[in-house]
Amino acid sequence: MMGFVKRWFTGLVRRPRLSPEDWVERLDQASGYGVVQTLVKLGQPAVEPLITALRDPRPLVRMHAAEALGQMQDTRAVEPLIAALKDSQDSLRTSAARALGQLGDVHAVEPLIGVLRDPQRIVRTAAIEALGHLGDVRAVEPLMHLAWDGYDETDRANEIDANAILALGKIGDERLLPKLERVRQQLDEGYTACTSKGYTSPDETAGLYDYFCVPLKAIDQAIVEIRARGTSRA
Protein backbone atom coordinates (compact mmCIF):
# COMPACT_ATOMS: atom_id res chain seq x y z
CA MET A 1 0.00 0.00 0.00
CA MET A 2 2.78 2.42 0.89
CA GLY A 3 4.44 1.71 -2.45
CA PHE A 4 1.27 2.66 -4.31
CA VAL A 5 0.93 5.92 -2.38
CA LYS A 6 4.56 6.78 -3.08
CA ARG A 7 4.19 6.11 -6.83
CA TRP A 8 0.95 8.18 -6.94
CA PHE A 9 2.54 11.10 -5.09
CA THR A 10 5.67 10.98 -7.26
CA GLY A 11 3.52 11.05 -10.39
CA LEU A 12 1.56 14.01 -9.03
CA VAL A 13 4.72 15.98 -8.32
CA ARG A 14 6.16 15.24 -11.76
CA ARG A 15 2.95 16.10 -13.58
CA PRO A 16 3.69 19.14 -15.79
CA ARG A 17 1.95 22.35 -14.86
CA LEU A 18 -0.33 23.96 -17.40
CA SER A 19 1.07 27.06 -19.08
CA PRO A 20 -0.92 30.30 -19.35
CA GLU A 21 -1.54 29.41 -23.02
CA ASP A 22 -2.95 26.04 -21.93
CA TRP A 23 -5.32 27.74 -19.51
CA VAL A 24 -6.41 30.25 -22.17
CA GLU A 25 -7.40 27.31 -24.37
CA ARG A 26 -9.74 26.22 -21.58
CA LEU A 27 -11.62 29.53 -21.64
CA ASP A 28 -13.92 28.10 -24.29
CA GLN A 29 -16.27 26.76 -21.63
CA ALA A 30 -19.63 28.05 -20.41
CA SER A 31 -18.36 27.63 -16.83
CA GLY A 32 -15.14 29.54 -17.44
CA TYR A 33 -15.17 31.42 -14.12
CA GLY A 34 -12.71 29.02 -12.47
CA VAL A 35 -10.33 29.25 -15.44
CA VAL A 36 -10.53 33.05 -15.34
CA GLN A 37 -9.60 33.06 -11.66
CA THR A 38 -6.68 30.71 -12.32
CA LEU A 39 -5.34 33.01 -15.04
CA VAL A 40 -5.71 36.02 -12.75
CA LYS A 41 -3.66 34.22 -10.09
CA LEU A 42 -0.95 33.42 -12.65
CA GLY A 43 -0.46 37.18 -12.97
CA GLN A 44 1.87 38.84 -15.48
CA PRO A 45 2.82 35.71 -17.47
CA ALA A 46 -0.86 35.36 -18.44
CA VAL A 47 -1.37 38.93 -19.65
CA GLU A 48 0.01 38.60 -23.18
CA PRO A 49 -1.75 35.27 -23.89
CA LEU A 50 -5.01 36.86 -22.71
CA ILE A 51 -4.46 39.91 -24.91
CA THR A 52 -3.93 37.57 -27.85
CA ALA A 53 -7.11 35.73 -26.86
CA LEU A 54 -9.13 38.93 -27.39
CA ARG A 55 -8.77 38.19 -31.12
CA ASP A 56 -9.62 34.48 -30.81
CA PRO A 57 -12.32 33.33 -33.26
CA ARG A 58 -14.29 31.79 -30.39
CA PRO A 59 -16.64 34.38 -28.79
CA LEU A 60 -16.55 32.71 -25.37
CA VAL A 61 -12.76 32.83 -25.25
CA ARG A 62 -12.76 36.55 -26.13
CA MET A 63 -15.37 37.35 -23.49
CA HIS A 64 -13.62 35.42 -20.70
CA ALA A 65 -10.25 36.89 -21.68
CA ALA A 66 -11.63 40.40 -21.24
CA GLU A 67 -13.07 39.45 -17.85
CA ALA A 68 -9.67 38.16 -16.70
CA LEU A 69 -7.78 41.21 -17.96
CA GLY A 70 -10.14 43.52 -16.11
CA GLN A 71 -9.10 41.91 -12.82
CA MET A 72 -5.35 41.96 -13.45
CA GLN A 73 -4.62 45.71 -13.23
CA ASP A 74 -2.06 45.62 -16.04
CA THR A 75 -1.97 48.68 -18.30
CA ARG A 76 -0.85 46.56 -21.28
CA ALA A 77 -4.48 45.47 -21.59
CA VAL A 78 -5.95 48.97 -21.97
CA GLU A 79 -5.46 49.51 -25.71
CA PRO A 80 -6.45 45.94 -26.69
CA LEU A 81 -9.61 46.25 -24.58
CA ILE A 82 -10.41 49.60 -26.20
CA ALA A 83 -10.11 47.88 -29.59
CA ALA A 84 -12.45 45.14 -28.31
CA LEU A 85 -15.18 47.75 -27.80
CA LYS A 86 -15.76 47.47 -31.56
CA ASP A 87 -16.09 43.68 -31.62
CA SER A 88 -19.11 42.20 -33.38
CA GLN A 89 -20.14 40.24 -30.27
CA ASP A 90 -22.24 42.07 -27.67
CA SER A 91 -20.77 39.87 -24.93
CA LEU A 92 -17.20 40.99 -25.62
CA ARG A 93 -18.11 44.66 -25.95
CA THR A 94 -19.87 44.41 -22.59
CA SER A 95 -16.98 42.60 -20.89
CA ALA A 96 -14.42 44.97 -22.42
CA ALA A 97 -16.31 48.04 -21.13
CA ARG A 98 -16.54 46.56 -17.64
CA ALA A 99 -12.86 45.62 -17.70
CA LEU A 100 -11.83 49.16 -18.68
CA GLY A 101 -13.81 50.51 -15.74
CA GLN A 102 -11.95 48.11 -13.44
CA LEU A 103 -8.55 49.06 -14.84
CA GLY A 104 -9.19 52.74 -14.12
CA ASP A 105 -7.10 54.15 -16.97
CA VAL A 106 -8.40 57.53 -18.21
CA HIS A 107 -7.33 56.73 -21.78
CA ALA A 108 -10.53 54.69 -21.94
CA VAL A 109 -12.85 57.65 -21.22
CA GLU A 110 -13.39 58.88 -24.79
CA PRO A 111 -13.78 55.38 -26.28
CA LEU A 112 -16.32 54.53 -23.56
CA ILE A 113 -18.23 57.74 -24.27
CA GLY A 114 -18.47 56.52 -27.86
CA VAL A 115 -19.97 53.25 -26.60
CA LEU A 116 -22.90 55.20 -25.11
CA ARG A 117 -24.32 55.08 -28.65
CA ASP A 118 -24.05 51.29 -28.91
CA PRO A 119 -27.27 49.71 -30.23
CA GLN A 120 -27.38 47.18 -27.36
CA ARG A 121 -28.60 48.40 -23.98
CA ILE A 122 -26.46 45.94 -22.01
CA VAL A 123 -23.33 47.31 -23.68
CA ARG A 124 -24.38 50.92 -23.03
CA THR A 125 -25.07 50.09 -19.38
CA ALA A 126 -21.61 48.55 -18.98
CA ALA A 127 -20.05 51.71 -20.47
CA ILE A 128 -22.12 53.95 -18.18
CA GLU A 129 -20.99 52.03 -15.10
CA ALA A 130 -17.38 52.06 -16.28
CA LEU A 131 -17.46 55.85 -16.76
CA GLY A 132 -18.83 56.18 -13.24
CA HIS A 133 -15.88 54.17 -11.90
CA LEU A 134 -13.38 56.24 -13.89
CA GLY A 135 -14.84 59.47 -12.46
CA ASP A 136 -13.62 61.71 -15.28
CA VAL A 137 -15.52 64.98 -15.82
CA ARG A 138 -15.36 64.53 -19.61
CA ALA A 139 -18.17 62.01 -19.20
CA VAL A 140 -20.51 64.45 -17.43
CA GLU A 141 -22.14 66.07 -20.48
CA PRO A 142 -22.70 62.80 -22.41
CA LEU A 143 -24.11 61.15 -19.27
CA MET A 144 -26.36 64.12 -18.53
CA HIS A 145 -27.74 63.95 -22.06
CA LEU A 146 -28.35 60.24 -21.63
CA ALA A 147 -29.90 60.69 -18.20
CA TRP A 148 -32.38 63.34 -19.26
CA ASP A 149 -33.03 62.37 -22.89
CA GLY A 150 -36.75 62.78 -23.58
CA TYR A 151 -37.47 64.30 -20.17
CA ASP A 152 -38.77 67.80 -19.49
CA GLU A 153 -40.79 69.43 -16.75
CA THR A 154 -44.08 68.00 -18.03
CA ASP A 155 -42.84 64.52 -18.96
CA ARG A 156 -42.79 61.39 -16.85
CA ALA A 157 -39.77 60.82 -14.64
CA ASN A 158 -39.42 57.22 -15.74
CA GLU A 159 -37.74 58.60 -18.88
CA ILE A 160 -34.69 59.23 -16.68
CA ASP A 161 -31.85 56.71 -17.06
CA ALA A 162 -31.12 55.51 -13.53
CA ASN A 163 -27.73 54.02 -14.43
CA ALA A 164 -26.55 57.32 -15.89
CA ILE A 165 -27.67 59.16 -12.77
CA LEU A 166 -25.78 56.73 -10.51
CA ALA A 167 -22.67 57.21 -12.64
CA LEU A 168 -23.01 60.99 -12.41
CA GLY A 169 -23.33 60.68 -8.65
CA LYS A 170 -20.01 58.83 -8.53
CA ILE A 171 -18.34 61.48 -10.67
CA GLY A 172 -19.75 64.08 -8.28
CA ASP A 173 -20.18 67.08 -10.59
CA GLU A 174 -22.17 69.76 -8.78
CA ARG A 175 -23.70 71.09 -12.03
CA LEU A 176 -26.18 68.23 -11.85
CA LEU A 177 -27.56 69.13 -8.42
CA PRO A 178 -30.14 71.79 -9.47
CA LYS A 179 -31.69 69.45 -12.05
CA LEU A 180 -31.75 66.48 -9.67
CA GLU A 181 -33.25 68.53 -6.85
CA ARG A 182 -35.90 70.01 -9.16
CA VAL A 183 -36.96 66.58 -10.41
CA ARG A 184 -36.98 65.23 -6.86
CA GLN A 185 -39.22 68.10 -5.79
CA GLN A 186 -41.60 67.42 -8.67
CA LEU A 187 -41.84 63.80 -7.67
CA ASP A 188 -42.55 64.79 -4.07
CA GLU A 189 -45.27 67.16 -5.23
CA GLY A 190 -46.84 64.45 -7.38
CA TYR A 191 -46.65 62.00 -4.49
CA THR A 192 -48.33 64.47 -2.15
CA ALA A 193 -51.05 65.35 -4.66
CA CYS A 194 -51.95 61.70 -5.24
CA THR A 195 -52.21 60.91 -1.55
CA SER A 196 -53.96 64.15 -0.50
CA LYS A 197 -56.70 63.67 -3.10
CA GLY A 198 -57.24 60.12 -1.98
CA TYR A 199 -56.23 58.57 -5.29
CA THR A 200 -53.73 56.30 -3.58
CA SER A 201 -52.32 55.61 -0.16
CA PRO A 202 -48.65 56.48 0.46
CA ASP A 203 -47.68 52.83 0.13
CA GLU A 204 -49.60 52.45 -3.12
CA THR A 205 -48.00 55.57 -4.63
CA ALA A 206 -44.52 54.33 -3.77
CA GLY A 207 -45.48 51.03 -5.37
CA LEU A 208 -46.57 52.78 -8.54
CA TYR A 209 -43.23 54.59 -8.74
CA ASP A 210 -41.48 51.22 -8.47
CA TYR A 211 -43.82 49.72 -11.08
CA PHE A 212 -43.12 52.49 -13.59
CA CYS A 213 -39.38 52.35 -12.83
CA VAL A 214 -39.21 55.94 -11.56
CA PRO A 215 -35.61 56.04 -10.27
CA LEU A 216 -36.19 57.60 -6.86
CA LYS A 217 -33.38 55.65 -5.21
CA ALA A 218 -30.90 56.56 -7.94
CA ILE A 219 -31.79 60.26 -7.71
CA ASP A 220 -31.53 60.29 -3.92
CA GLN A 221 -28.21 58.43 -3.96
CA ALA A 222 -26.73 60.77 -6.57
CA ILE A 223 -27.82 63.84 -4.59
CA VAL A 224 -26.21 62.47 -1.43
CA GLU A 225 -22.95 61.61 -3.21
CA ILE A 226 -22.65 64.95 -5.00
CA ARG A 227 -23.40 66.92 -1.83
CA ALA A 228 -20.87 64.82 0.10
CA ARG A 229 -18.16 65.54 -2.47
CA GLY A 230 -18.97 69.25 -2.37
CA THR A 231 -18.71 69.26 1.42
CA SER A 232 -15.38 67.41 1.37
CA ARG A 233 -13.93 69.98 -1.06
CA ALA A 234 -15.14 72.95 1.00
State pLDDT tens for residues 178-222: 888 887 887 777 666 666 665 555 566 566 556 555 678 888 899
C-alpha distances out from residue 179 to 12, 36, 136, 188, 219, Å: 65, 42, 20, 14, 10
104/111 Cα distance (integer angstroms): 13
* Half-sphere exposure in the Cβ direction for 195 (13 Å, CA): 14
124/117 Cα distance (integer angstroms): 7
Give pLDDT, residue 53.
96
168/125 Cα distance (integer angstroms): 13
CB contact at 8 A, 112 and 139: yes
116/141 Cα distance (integer angstroms): 12
The pLDDT-based confidence of 91 (bands split at 50, 70, 90) is very high
pLDDT in tens, 27-53: 987 677 888 999 999 999 999 999 999
Q: What is the pTM assigned to this prediction?
A: 0.79
Domains of the chain: 24-101 (1.25.10.10), 135-234 (no CATH)
- Provide DSSP, 89-123: -HHHHHHHHHHHHHHT-GGGHHHHHHHTT-SSHHH
143/166 Cα distance (integer angstroms): 10
